[in-house]
Structure 1
Amino acid sequence: MKTTGGSDDAKRRAGERAAEEATDGMVVGLGTGSTTAHAIRALGRAVDSGLDIRGIPTSFQSRQLAIEAGIPLTALDEVETVHLAIDGTDQFAGRHLIKGGGAAHTREKLVDSAAERFVVVADPSKQAEVLDHPVPVEVLPDAWTVVTEEIAAKVGGEATLREAERKDGPVVTDNGNLVLDCDFDEVRDPAMLALDLAAIPGVVEHGLFINLVDTVYVGTDDGVEEHQF
């Protein structure tokens, strides 16, 4: 369930501003999504101009885009340090994010949480006072019905299996799992909800990113707003 909103120019401004943080010798986590794609393209142009970095893609999509952009790639288990991670978000409220609109949040969380510095790129439509976007939850295929029932019974959410748009059947993640989009109305305590979801057997990873982000760059029609934490 990919969210939309915000002009492409606003997304480009945010992505290009985040890409400016990359310096020679860095290992950079490459997130997934339309706004992060602008950052990856900007990094590719910088590499073409001599910037020496290596990228860690978080999805098939970001890997292909990085290859097209000419960014040398590596893997999380092949490096000692991830210096910078750049990623998008479906919604943010302060330092709390909801991610997973592109069904890549499991790998994104691995890379983003490993990074010394994690910056998020967004457009104004993604900012909220209180999180209320459905929370994506990656689940083992055999467990989705059980997890759906557990989410309703234990945390009061309504979980819907994400269906593919251009094929019959559900969305399948790069990890071979399924995704439930879980509606909790307003998420007043994201940290507690994150713990409750993680405790349900069959859940691989949820899309709540708690207190991980250092800076959010919000592209606007006039420039870029910086939210520092």
Structure 2
Amino acid sequence: MSEKKQNQSEIEKEAAAKMAVSFVKDNDIVGLGTGSTAKFAIEELAKLVKGGLKIKGVASSVHTEELAISLGIPMQELGKTSHIDISIDGADEFTETLDLIKGGGGALFREKIVASLSNNRIIVTDSSKKVEKLGSFKVPIEVVPIAYQYVVNQLEKLNGIVKLRYKEGKIFITDNHNYIVDVAFGLIDEPQKLAESLNQIDGLLAHGLFVNLTSKVIMAKDGQLYTFSKD
């Protein structure tokens, strides 16, 4: 990506994040996503907290929790949270029917729990993330290490091309002490059907197909904001 396009992408992400934050109300419990787009939302929320907004945040990753605390956002543990009023997160791909691929940052399991607990689930993106069909971005999958080879075998039976994720020359380890595999399935005609098949694999903790887990996508493009929802 050229520097100009990258700068434009950052401007779009920030604009979409600010709009999403406008839906947060006093005393809300707010799910905080992980990644570059969610970071803009967290920074905007921190400004509002300093101005008197009363919220509690619930983080989808250790990194997000550390960032939110450093910016003065009061936090509570995900494992002790029974409901979330609104969550704001990014996506690696989305369609107009609100199916997503998430997990490029490796936080997909906790992101999915946050989304599942949320009453209002908002995704913020720049325009590069909108696709006709999911699948150009590989599907991230979190795998329990002792089940790694078994899970790979099962993914290959689903015609997936599996690649173990590395970072800085070492196997990438999630906040939950598991592996991530990035799986190419080609363009996905039926995300719900594939998600159901993945859900049946023992040792697969979570996959990056988010189906029926989004209320609204806010996308910024060329200085304009676009909203996609099922409402």
TM-score, L = length of structure 2: 0.93
Structure 2 distance, partners of 1:31, 1:113, is 13
Corresponding residue SS for 2:171: coil
1:100 corresponds to? 103
The residue number in structure 1 matching 2:61 is 59
2:149 alignment counterpart? 145
Root-mean-square deviation (Å): 1.4
Residues 144 and 180 of structure 1 are in contact (CA less than 8 Å); yes or no, is this contact kept in structure 2? no
Letter in 2 for 1:218: M
1:24-43 paired onto structure 2 within 5 Å: 24-43=26-45
**1:80, CA displacement in angstroms?**
4.1
- Trace 1:164-179 onto structure 2 (pairs within 5 A): 164=167, 166=168, 168-179=169-180
Shift of 1:123: 0.6
Match of 1:70 in 2: 72
Q: For 2:166, what is the secondary structure of its paired residue?
A: coil
Q: How does 1:7-46 map to 2 (within 5 A)?
A: 7-46=9-48
Aligned equivalents of 1:61, 1:224: Cα separation in 2:
28
2:198 equivalent in structure 1: 197
Q: Which residue of 2 aligns with 1:111?
A: 114
Alignment check: 8 A CA contact 1:9 1:221 kept: no
C-alpha separation in 1, matches of 2:41 and 2:130: 19
Tell me by how many angstroms 1:29 deviates. 0.2
Deviation, 1:118, is 0.2
Task: Report the CA distance between 1:220 and its aligned residue.
Answer: 2.0
CA drift of 1:223 comes to 2.6
Percent identical residues: 37
Structure 2: gaps spanning 5 or more residues: none
Q: Which amino acid aligns with 1:209?
A: F
**1:49-82 CA-partner distances (Å, limit 9, x unpaired):** 0000000000011111111221100123434431
Q: Distance in 1 between matches of 2:189 and 2:77?
A: 36
Cα 1:71–1:110 shift into 2, 3 Å: same
**Partner secondary structure for residue 7 of structure 1:** helix
Q: CA offsets, 1:136-180, max 9 Å, x none?
A: 110011222221121111x1111110011x2x3210000000001
2-structure distance, mates of 1:156, 1:36: 32
The count of aligned residue pairs is 223
1:208 has 2:209 as partner: yes
Determine if contact 2:98/2:228 at 8 Å carries over to the other structure. no
Q: Which runs of 5+ in 1 are unaligned?
A: none
The one-letter amino acid paired with 2:160 is: G
Distance 1:220 1:80, change over 3 A: same
| d(CA) in 2 for partners of 1:203, 1:80 | 24
Q: Secondary structure at the match of 1:188?
A: coil
What is the alpha-carbon distance in structure 2 between the residues aligned to residue 63 and residue 125 of structure 1? 27
Kindly provide the amino acid, as one letter, of the partner of residue 181 in structure 1: D
Return the alpha-carbon distance in structure 2 between the equivalents of residues 205 and 212 of structure 1.
14
